[in-house]
Amino acid sequence: MKKILLVYNPVSGHAAFRTRLDTVIENFQRRGIFLSVYRTQADDNSNFADCVKLSGADGIIAAGGDGTLHAVINWLKKNSLDLPVGVIGSGTSNDFAAHLNIDAENYFDAIAQGRTRPVDLGLVNGSEYFINVASAGVFTSIAHEVGSRLKNFLGKSAYYLRGLGELRNFKAVTFDITADGRKFSVEAFLFLVLNSPSVAGFKKISSAAQIDDGLLDLLLLKKNSPRSLMTVARKILAGSTVDDDENIFSLRARTFEISSAAALTGDLDGEAGDPLPLRIETCRHALNFFC
């Protein structure tokens, strides 16, 4: 019998996954899968590796948002645990799950059949992995400043409402970039280093980003007028890609070194990361993902 460890975040999204737990267990059991459960803690998950080993799991499923998936991947990698990973999106932001177009019923079948694909990860400063996006600049602090109550009540709208309130305070900074040995200096409001093209609830910001090509895609929103900024925003809201827009600086590489004289903190999959400078490298096919 296949064994799966379900890792769920009790406060993710609308904090409603607990009401789905019995249905999820039933779906796994109906497919001949024995399910054990790990409930994440806000302060200490140091026993996670021991729970994985004791469970004898053949795979890990993260139930939560991008932040929960990010945490699970890092706990596994930092404890040298090589298991396939999947996700049941139930957070405020579920960008990676959205990119894979995960459908719950079909997804249970994929897990039961052991269907996986290799995906890339990004590694920041040699210590922290991300699966979807690394960023810094305006907007990137919003996810950390918006309270969990507001996020659970309004969902993604909480981020956008906070962002609109900050428009008048937008200030560009100079980013110094080395990409596979090539050097650039760009005055911009923010940068995104993408593994998948799905960011902030929008499924196709980049036309080039792929999760298994051994490359990461860098997008910078260049310093420009409010009118130009709104042009880019309209494209994103319409579901269009923006990597070829004149207001966007874009390139692809295996490694990036990004610095700025401004005091900025990186964001990894919606979670606070290291302050700049950042060294970001692609770890090709570093994870097997249920799909």
Say if strands 128-130 and 173-179 run parallel, antiparallel, or are unpaired. Answer: unpaired
Which domains are present in the chain? Answer: 2-114 (3.40.50.10330), 128-285 (2.60.200.40)
How many C-beta atoms lie closer than 10 Å to residue 132's C-beta? Answer: 28
Q: What are the DSSP calls for 26-73, one per residue? A: HHHHHTTEEEEEEE--SS--TTHHHHHHHHT-SEEEEEE-HHHHHHHH
The answer to whether residue 17 scores a pLDDT higher than 60 is: yes
Least confident of 146-150, 207-211, 284-288: 146-150
| Residues 6+ positions from 227 with CB-CB distance below 8 Å | none
pLDDT band at 105 (very low <50, low <70, confident <90, very high): confident
C-alpha distances in Å from residue 184, one per residue of 179, 220, 251, 275: 8, 12, 11, 20
Both tokens of residue 30?
């109906």
| Residues 6+ positions from 265 with CB-CB distance below 8 Å | 136, 140, 141, 272, 273, 274, 275, 276
Least confident of 76-85, 141-150, 240-249: 141-150
> Quick check: 207 and 242 in contact, CB under 8 A?
no
pLDDT band at 157 (very low <50, low <70, confident <90, very high): very low
The answer to whether residue 75 scores a pLDDT higher than 50 is: yes
What average pLDDT score do residues 194-222 get?
94
Q: Residue 136's pLDDT is what? A: 94
Both tokens of residue 117?
């694909």
Both tokens of residue 49?
């590796």
The answer to whether residue 65 scores a pLDDT higher than 70 is: yes
What average pLDDT score do residues 31-48 get?
93
| Residues 6+ positions from 50 with CB-CB distance below 8 Å | none
Among the listed residues 220, 222, 215, 221, the one whose alpha carbon sits nearest the alpha carbon of residue 280 = 215
User: Which residues are known catalytic residues?
Assistant: 271
Report, in angstroms and rounded to the nearest whole number, the Rg of the chain calculated over CA atoms.
19
Instruction: Please write the tens of the pLDDT for every residue from 136-148.
Output: 997 665 555 555 5
Q: Which amino acid appears at position 78 of this protein? A: K
The answer to whether residue 230 scores a pLDDT higher than 70 is: yes
Query: pLDDT > 90: what percent of the chain?
Result: 67
What average pLDDT score do residues 11-40 get?
86
Both tokens of residue 272?
């606070």
| Residues 6+ positions from 149 with CB-CB distance below 8 Å | none
- The SS3 of residue 271 is strand
pLDDT band at 263 (very low <50, low <70, confident <90, very high): very high
